Amino acid sequence: MKIIRRAYLALFALYLIGPIVIIIAVSFNSKRFLAFPPRGFSFRWYAEIFVANDWFSSLMNSLFIAFASATLAVLIATPIAYCAWRFGLRYAKALFALGIAPFILPPVILALAFLLFFSSVGMHGWMLNVIIGHAIFLLALPLVTISLGLESVDRSLIEASQSMGADNATVFRTVILPIAAPFAFAGFAFCFVLSLNEYIIALMTVGFTVETLPIKIFNALRYGYTPVIASIAVLFLLINIAVFSLIAKFSNLSRILGAMD
C-alpha cells in the first residue's frame, strides 16, 4: 500500500513539476535556440526581459494593469460584501450573485462582450478597458474572500462595541476592518496574479494598442521561439508563488480554499 502511494505521489509530482523543470532548464540555456539538455549556463534570457525595451514595457504594462484592476475589484466588492453581510440586504445579495457570474462564464464570452461594448461606446483600445475588464472578470475573488473574512467576525463583538458607544463607522473601522482586512488583501492578491496571467480579455479589449506580457508571448509564439519566454514563465511562476505565500502568511489560506479551520 505504501509503495503504491509513494509511486503515485512521485508520478503526480513529476507530471506537475516536470514541464516546469524543462522550462527552467531552457531559461538558463546560453544558446539562442532552445535546447534540452541545456548547453551552457547563463542569465542572459533573464537580463533580456529587463534590457530589451519591448519585453520590459510589456512587463510594466502587465504589472500596472494587474495592480489597477485588483484595486478596482476590491473597491467594487467591498460595499457589496459588506451590505450583504451586515444588513442582509436582498439587493446586495443579488448584486453579489451577479458579481460572481463573470468568473464562472468561459472568459471568451466575457471578452467578446467587452469588445462589443467598448467599441460601441467609442472607447477603442484604451488601457482603462482592460483594467475594468479584469476587475469585472475577477470580481468574484474579492467578493468571496471578503465575505469569508466578514463571516469570521463574531456579531457579538459588534454589539459589544456598540454598547460602548461606537457608531456604524467606528464599528467598521475598529472591529470589522482589522479582522476582515487580511481577507481583502487575499482577494486583491488573487486578482493581481490572475490579471497578470490573463490573455483573452486583454486581447479583445486592448490587443491592438497595449501589449501585455501574455499577449506579447502569444505573438512571439506564432512567429518563432525565444528563450526569453522560458525566463518569463519562470519569473511569473516565482511571482505567483511569492504572492500566494504572502496570502498563506497573512491570511488563512486553507479557510479561503474552503477547508475547515
Partner 1 sequence: MQTAPLSRYLSLVPSSVMVGVFFAIPFVMILLTSVSTPAEDVDYRYAFDLQHFERFLTWFYIERALFSAGLCALIALISLLIAFPFTYLLTTFGPRTQTSWLIYILAQLSLSEVLIAFSWQILLSRTSGIGNIIAWIGITEKSFSMSPSAGAVVAALVYLAVPFSVLLLFPALSRLDKSLLEASRTLGASPLRTFFTVVIPVTRPAIISSGVTVFVLTLGAIIVPQVLGRPEHWTLSVLITDQAIFNFNMPFASALAVVLLVLSASVIVLVTRYAGGAKS
Q: Count the site residues for partner 1 by CB under 8 A.
A: 89
Question: Using only C-alpha atoms, what is the Rg of the chain?
Answer: 22
Of positions 5, 53, 165, 223, contacts partner 1 by CB under 8 A: 5
Between vectors from CA 82 to CA 261 and to CA 97, what angle results, nearest 5°?
A: 85
The nearest distance, CB 181 to partner 1, in angstroms, is 18
CA 200, chain centre distance (Å): 14
Interface segment toward partner 1; rule CB under 8 A; list 40-48, 53-61, 91-99, 148-156: 91-99
Q: CB-wise, 108 or 160, nearer to partner 1?
A: 108
Q: Could you count the other beta carbons within 10 Å of the beta carbon of residue 196?
A: 23
Cell numbers found for residue 183: 481577507
Between the alpha carbon of residue 235 and those of residues 20, 50, 62, the distances in Å are 12, 12, 13
Pairwise CA distance, residues 49 & 198, whole Å: 19
The nearest distance, CB 103 to partner 1, in angstroms, is 10
Of positions 139, 146, 150, 184, contacts partner 1 by CB under 8 A: 139
Using CB under 8 A as the binding rule, the residues of this chain from 153 to 182 that contact partner 1 are 167-168
Is residue 232 close enough to count as binding partner 1 by CB under 8 A?
yes
Between vectors from CA 190 to CA 234 and to CA 94, what angle results, nearest 5°?
A: 150
**DSSP tally for the chain: helices H, then strands E:** 14, 0
CA 237, chain centre distance (Å): 12
Is residue 19 close enough to count as binding partner 1 by CB under 8 A?
yes
Q: Going residue by residue from 189 to 228, which x/- string records binding to partner 1, judged by CB under 8 A?
A: ----xx-xxxxx--xx--x-----xx--xx--x-------
Task: Confirm if 143 and 85 have CB atoms less than 8 A apart.
Answer: no
Is residue 65 close enough to count as binding partner 1 by CB under 8 A?
no
Of positions 92, 138, 140, 175, contacts partner 1 by CB under 8 A: 92
Looking at residue 53, its amino acid is N
Interface segment toward partner 1; rule CB under 8 A; list 40-48, 63-71, 144-152, 238-246: 238-246
Using CB under 8 A as the binding rule, the residues of this chain from 100 to 129 that contact partner 1 are 101-102, 104-117, 120
Of positions 66, 74, 95, 153, contacts partner 1 by CB under 8 A: 95
